[in-house]
Amino acid sequence: MRALNLRAWVLGGVAVAFAAFAAGCASVYNLPGNAPLGTALADNNFGRELPVYDDDVLLALSFSGGGTRAAAFSFGVLSELDRSRAGSGQSKSLLDRVDFVSGVSGGSVTAAYFGLKKRAALDDFRERFLLRNAEEALNTQLSLGNIGRALGGGVNDSQFTNWLDRNLFDGARFESFREDRRPRVWINASDIYNRTPFVFGKTAFDALCSDIRPYRVAEAVAASAAVPLAFAPIVLETYPGGCAAPLPAWLERARSDPNGQPLLKSYAEAHARYRDGSMRYVKLLDGGLVDNYGLSGFSIGLLAAQRPFEPITEQQAVKVRRIMFLVVDAGRGISGDFAQRIEGPNGVELVAAAADTAIDASVRASYAAFSALATDWSGKVRRWRCGLSAAERSRLGVGKNWRCGDISFAIDRVSFDQLGPARAGILNAIPTRFALPAEQVDLLIESGADALRQSKSYQAFRRGL
């Protein structure tokens, strides 16, 4: 999410020096919540990050940051997917066929809860989270003491983690995200030392020589939403020498390639530092700092591929016919009136505008880059399928009526813009907090469903099933 009461923290800037002196800049920090692999898992074989599905559809969702506003808008999209029936006898909804869900900040709350509870999340997520005041345990007031805490590392430490764990996730651990069932959940944070995305999954935790299974889901979601100054970073400990298996080959290739893609190379170098002992702790903040759409994990998977069909398996690649990526964007539109006057922006407006500019420029670039990567990948898969020999088709179990070119790909952004200027203006005015009135929550849920219905790409995908 964008900064919780960011403008309030900037107010009184001239008093910061005094506040730092008065409060003594007491250090605020979180203790690491991850465990080492242990002897039984020391030779861990770096299990798959991707689900193995058994049908001809690949449906992926990515939920942007934006506090409860993003969580509610994303929830509306899930509700609409559940109204869309597909499959033999229309027995399943499209919600049952989601393969991946990636989330950032507020969007990560919805992604994680859906990943844990599947369709049952539709029954109580509104009451358990969207209508709750998730800020009730947080320090949100502007005061000299809180400014001192902000300068000492962050106003809040583990309050949000514990609130989520107690009120929403019921102590759930990552072992609940089983590898043998849909959807695969990716929670995204920012590694602020390496300046790279951090995707909570086996690849990252294996690089840490850490066991992800007992790690709290609430802690990952809190890391994804940890706005600088408002929250202290979530901390992970590295355990160099705690596992014998080498880093995956694709990470080593990316590190050694002088002409490699910068995103992939920096991601690989970060994982090497986790493993080699040059970093004792990984410090994580809001995923929106590097990627407010949560597309980095998908992009890295495509960039790391060594064969045309990767990152999916060749068995999946010959079977798939319809691929859809939906990016659910609850980002805020432009605001402020300093463009109408000669003076300004003032200090508060300047900080807010600079943060908005950086985030919006980043998400536009990430969406464009991912669109190009994914479109190119779908073409590679089609060409690979059509180049299979008779023997290879037999090995992969291809039927007589199989058509190599029968594969379609689409990516679409579901946003406030699709609802018209008037409605988008109302939605953009809703603040990016973790506490909203019921009427705004319900408006966002309804708007998410309406925006998905108005997506031409999504409707074409439905018709093609």
Residues 451-461: what's their mean pLDDT? 95
Which carries the bigger pLDDT value, residue 259 or residue 24? 259
Please, what is the average pLDDT of the chain?
Answer: 87
Residue 372 has a pLDDT of: 94
Residue 90 has a pLDDT of: 59
Residue 448 in this model has a pLDDT that exceeds 50: yes
Contact assessment for residue 360 and residue 415, using Cβ atoms and an 8 Å cutoff: no
Of 284, 324, 62, 328, nearest to 185 by C-alpha is: 62
Contact assessment for residue 16 and residue 9, using Cβ atoms and an 8 Å cutoff: no
Residue 117 has a pLDDT of: 95
Give kind and range of the element (H or E) at residue 63.
strand 57-63
Q: What is the pTM of this model?
A: 0.90
Residue 394 in this model has a pLDDT that exceeds 50: yes
Residue 143 has a pLDDT of: 74
Instruction: Give pLDDT tens digits for 248-257.
Output: 999 999 999 9
> What's the DSSP call for residue 130?
I
Residues 451-455: what's their mean pLDDT? 96
Give CA–CA dist 2/7, Å, rounded: 11
Using a 10 angstrom Cβ sphere, with 0-12 exposed, 13-18 middle and 19 or more buried, the burial of residue 92 is middle
* Long-range contacts, 369-376 (Cβ 8 Å, 24+): 369/299, 370/293, 370/295, 370/298, 370/299, 370/325, 370/411, 371/411, 373/299, 373/302, 373/303, 374/298, 374/302, 374/325, 374/409, 374/411, 375/409, 375/411
- Residues recognised as catalytic: 105, 286
pLDDT-derived band at 5 (thresholds 50, 70, 90) equals: very low
Give kind and range of the element (H or E) at residue 456.
helix 456-463
Residue 89 has a pLDDT of: 54
Instruction: Give pLDDT tens digits for 321-355.
Output: 999 999 999 987 777 778 888 887 877 677 777 77
Residue 381 has a pLDDT of: 95
Helix (H, G, I), strand (E, B) or coil at 195: coil
Using a 10 angstrom Cβ sphere, with 0-12 exposed, 13-18 middle and 19 or more buried, the burial of residue 226 is buried
Give kind and range of the element (H or E) at residue 25.
none
Residue 20 has a pLDDT of: 47
Instruction: Give pLDDT tens digits for 363-381.
Output: 888 899 999 999 999 999 9
Instruction: Give pLDDT tens digits for 40-66.
Output: 454 443 344 555 566 889 999 999 999
Residue 361 has a pLDDT of: 78
Residue 26 has a pLDDT of: 66
Helix (H, G, I), strand (E, B) or coil at 281: strand
- Proportion of the chain above pLDDT 70, given as a percent: 89
Domain 26-334+358-463: CATH class, spelled out: alpha beta
